[in-house]
Structure 1
């Protein structure tokens, strides 16, 4: 059984933990700058700054923090450690052919990613989101619950596609705003 340390111990990490366990990982514990009280405290490993002491062969990491810029800052701060960032895909997500999902990304229950889509590093494809064919999703993006990307959409790094938003074919998403690539 592969071992995993989860960075972040908030609400998002609850779902990430479920997905990790369903994918056969043993969760060793959590790193978070807010020390928990009560339930879950036994798996608290310390503040995020203690991350270097937990790096060893056979231990993977995933950042379970919803804020795109915080995920990016953590990756940049610790990139010299060459951490093994795992990708996690919930078993009831639907993943099409020739889909590429890079390390650190998490695909939640009910999400759909269709053929030839590319999901960058440390992306959240949240519950029931749909990413259609030939989409390119940059690093540190959040495709929120129920959002839908039509075919061929490009989402630039660090952007958010908010809950329930529908992005038409031929659009680029920049910081949550749509901008047309071509006129129709």
Structure 2
């Protein structure tokens, strides 16, 4: 029997997450998830129209979800690591279990661990001995090299790459097309700009950009 699921956030990544749910169900012998709809505290008119075209329900706000009697699984489809952390904290405290979603067209190597609440999109490549924390987002075509750890609430934007033996600390974001070279560490809450190339460790809370990133 499929498990009930809600997606928090009806923006772009939230709707991409709905695509992943559909792909998982299509690839399985029987549906894995029953998507009840999407939760959004400030649904825009454009996103409301997009949900209607997709046949997806808007379930109201997070407050309304929490005040209800049901406790379906959830994922947070919000790109901002800080916002994702706030939402997940509320839902965890209210007793909602976090789902883990991996697109069937993602490639996972040996000895890969994935924390609850993480979302892995199509085209992602994760090699060997990689640890992903809770609520990690791997956007389309991101690559994670061997022996690397991504801590909780990390976001890897589309086509970004982390080489081997790296540590990406909690709440960091690696921008679209950016590269982190091997044996480096990004401190908690660090942000790497799009198309940047990181060649040395990045301190917590620091924003770097350019080639080389600084």
2:62 counterpart residue number? 48
**2-side partners of 1:15 and 1:162: how far apart?**
17
- Aligned residue for 2:74, secondary structure, equals strand
Alignment RMSD (CA, Å) = 1.8
Judge which range, 46-55 or 153-162, deviates more.
46-55
Task: State the 4+ residue runs in structure 1 displaced beyond 4 angstroms.
Answer: none
Structure (1 or 2) with the greater strand fraction: 1
Aligned residue among 81, 104, 110 for 2:94: 81
**Structure-to-structure mapping, 1:7-46, within 5 angstroms:** 7-24=8-25, 25-35=33-43, 36=45, 37-41=48-52, 43-46=57-60
| TM-score relative to the length of structure 1 | 0.90
| TM-score relative to the length of structure 2 | 0.78
**Gaps in structure 1 of 5+ consecutive residues:** none
User: Are 1:123 and 2:136 an aligned pair?
Assistant: yes
2:121 counterpart residue number? 108
2:201 counterpart residue number? 180
1:170 counterpart residue number? 183
Shift of 1:69: 0.5
With a CA cutoff of 8 Å and minimum separation of 6, indicate the structure with the bigger relative contact order: 1
**Number of residue pairs matched by the alignment:** 180
**Gaps in structure 2 of 5+ consecutive residues:** 26-32, 193-197, 203-214
Judge which range, 169-178 or 157-166, deviates more.
169-178
